[in-house]
Amino acid sequence: MTPAVILFPGSNRDRDMIAALTKISGKPPVLIWHTDTEIPNVDLIVVPGGFSYGDYLRSGAIAARSPVMREIARRAAKGVKILGVCNGFQILTEAGLLPGALMRNAGLRFVCRQVKLKVENAHTAFTQHYWDGQVIPCPVAHHDGNYFADPRTLRALEDNKQIVFRYADDTNPNGSINDIAGIINKKGNVLGMMPHPENLIEADHGNISGRRLFESVLEVAASEAA
Amino acid sequence: MIKARITVTLKNGVLDPQGKAIEGGLASLGFDGVGSVRQGKVFDVELDGDDANKSERDLKAMCEKLLVNTVIEDYAVEIVV
């Protein structure tokens, strides 16, 4: 059971992600630099948060065109589990691995606070340890988390149950359409989300409800590899 | 050498919180009657060679592949010289 974490210049949530994955999978993840064109055999590829390339042009735009992303697209097509958190979500949408776009927060401010997340689909590889309708606390920290998709794409996301997490109880921090906080691709192996589950891993974080996401996907990936 | 200007604008129907904030700024300066403001981007690009048709094709490819997020943005390419 080996996860990998992709590093871009300007990533800054990579350490939290590495700590979380190490704690949960029992060994440190493989670290992949953005110029690498090959990724070893791994069961989960994580694109962490941060400010790749200083958010120049558009958040995630330049990182999405870096060499390593071509290999990530190939792995995604093969069914390897891919998780993008925060800037990672922005990168996955910019790379076309997830639909829609993440725009400037409606309030124009960087938001760093705890929100409530409703698990809309507990039947994905990433959410099997939650239940449908479960509401969990989760921190967000972003400037461009305002999810947008055209009406047709949005309808398809709703119809296919691709909206995995929604901001609950009026805690939408960014104006995101339909309160969308996280979506999965149609095939069910690429998840992008703005909130940071890697920051709710141990009791000292105040809550461990982020653990289940990693436990779920690592368990599913292990059973598929067996 | 060919000089070109690429103008990127938000698509109709895409909310523009920055444009809204600029509208508010103009109103507080006393500019009445500003219906709406939409913020966009301009790229000035210089290309080697003098084949305008090829340059235009290349510029459009650059827009589609990097400069523009076609989910939310439209663009126009103009060869200046």
Interface contact B72-A148, CB threshold 8 A: yes
Answer with the residue of higher pLDDT: A218 or B81: A218
Q: How far is A4 from chain B (nearest CA, A)?
A: 26
Residue among A58, A65, A70 with most chain B CBs within 10 A, to mutate: A58
What is the sign of the dihedral through the CA atoms of A90, A92, A96 and A100? negative
Asked if residue A182 has pLDDT above 80, the reply is yes
Q: How does pLDDT run across A21-70, given as a tens digit for each residue?
A: 999 999 999 999 999 999 999 999 999 999 999 999 999 999 999 999 99
Interface contact A149-B17, CB threshold 8 A: no
Per CATH, the architecture of B2-80 is what?
Answer: 2-Layer Sandwich (3.30)
Distance of CA A86 to the CA centre of its chain: 6
Interface contact B17-A104, CB threshold 8 A: yes
Give residue B13's pLDDT: 87
Q: Which residues of chain B have pLDDT under 50?
A: none
Interface contact A58-B21, CB threshold 8 A: no
Asked if residue A226 has pLDDT above 90, the reply is no
Alpha-carbon distances, residue A123 vs A94, A161, A165, A189, B62 (angstroms): 26, 9, 12, 12, 39
What dihedral angle (degrees, nearest 10) is formed by the CA atoms of A97, A103, A105, A108?
150
According to CATH, what is the number of the domain A3-225? 3.40.50.880
Q: How far is B28 from chain A (nearest CA, A)?
A: 18
A221 pLDDT band, cuts 50/70/90, is very high
Give residue B81's pLDDT: 79
In this prediction the pTM is 0.95
Give residue A65's pLDDT: 96
Q: What residues of A act catalytically?
A: 86, 196, 198
Q: How far is A99 from chain B (nearest CA, A)?
A: 8
* N-to-C CA span, chain A: 10
What part of B 31-50 touches A (C-beta under 8 Å)? none
Q: How far is B2 from chain A (nearest CA, A)?
A: 23
Please check whether residue A77 touches B, CB under 8 A. no
Interval A154-172 mean pLDDT: 98
* For helices A211-225 and A14-25, angle between their N-to-C axes, nearest 10 degrees: 60
What part of A 113-152 touches B (C-beta under 8 Å)? 146, 148-150
Give residue A225's pLDDT: 82
Nearest CA to A31 out of A1, A7, A64, A2 is that of A7
Interval A113-118 mean pLDDT: 97
Give residue A1's pLDDT: 72
Residue among B22, B71, B73, B74 with most chain A CBs within 10 A, to mutate: B71
For chain A, what is the mean pLDDT?
A: 96
Nearest to B69 among A101, A106, A150 (CB): A101
Chain B: residue whose CA lies nearest to A104: B17
Interval A145-153 mean pLDDT: 96
Asked if residue A118 has pLDDT above 80, the reply is yes
Q: How many CB atoms lie within 10 A of CB A140?
A: 23
Tokens of A118: 């409703």
Interface contact B66-A61, CB threshold 8 A: yes
Interface contact A104-B18, CB threshold 8 A: yes
ipTM: 0.87
Q: How many residue pairs from chains A and B have C-beta atoms closer than 8 A?
A: 38
Interface contact B14-A57, CB threshold 8 A: no
Give residue A136's pLDDT: 97
